[in-house]
Amino acid sequence: MKHGILKNFSVFEIVVVALMAAIGLAIKPVIVPLTHMITGPLFIPGGAVAGGFYMLWLVLGAGLIEKRGVAALIAITQGVIVAITGSFGTHGIVSIFTYSLPGVMIDVVYFLIRRKIKEPIDFFAAGVIANVSGTYLSNLVFFRLPLVPLMLSLSAAILSGGLGGLIAYAVCKKIKEATGGSDEKA
């Protein structure tokens, strides 16, 4: 018997949430060092550029499941895993908040505008929302960049997040085509 937030999700959907969280965490240590080579000399945190490519898993999960709270659930799952394992940095309990905000922001914005993530513009905007909110919070908590580097960082986050959202759209579309366009429930 399921309680709380999980009562609205099937076992299949919970597996998708776990898979999106795991892939998002697995890709981060590969993508971030590569982007640091480009962003380091520009004094832009690498996560602003790399974020679009690991935040896309939040957007993809929300697009596949099409239920409120999915992006937040994926992000919170990531934050808890990072806090418990101590992986991907040593920020401890703060990781729960820094990882959770992007998913929560996606869900809050789409709740307020009463839309689901279905169209390419929805995926693009969700990627931007996730990456900009994550980049801005990381700046507040860790970096405290001056205005000009912060604006460069947020601009990079917009571009990277939007591109990540469009990649999520393409993947979501292919998955739905391969499964007959149905929302499979277990």
Q: Which pLDDT score is estimated for 7? A: 85
pLDDT band, very low/low/confident/very high, at 42 (cuts 50, 70, 90): confident
Inter-residue contact 23 to 13 (CB < 8 Å): no
Mean of per-residue pLDDT scores for the chain = 89
CA gap 130, 55 in Å, rounded = 6
Amino acid identity for residue 158 in this structure: I
67-123 pLDDT tens trace? 999 999 999 999 999 988 877 666 778 889 999 999 999 999 999 998 889 999 999
Q: What six digits make up the tokens of 141? A: 């908590």
Q: What six digits make up the tokens of 180? A: 């007959």
- Helix orientation angle between 147-178 and 46-65, rounded to the nearest 10 degrees: 30
More confident residue, 85 or 160: 160
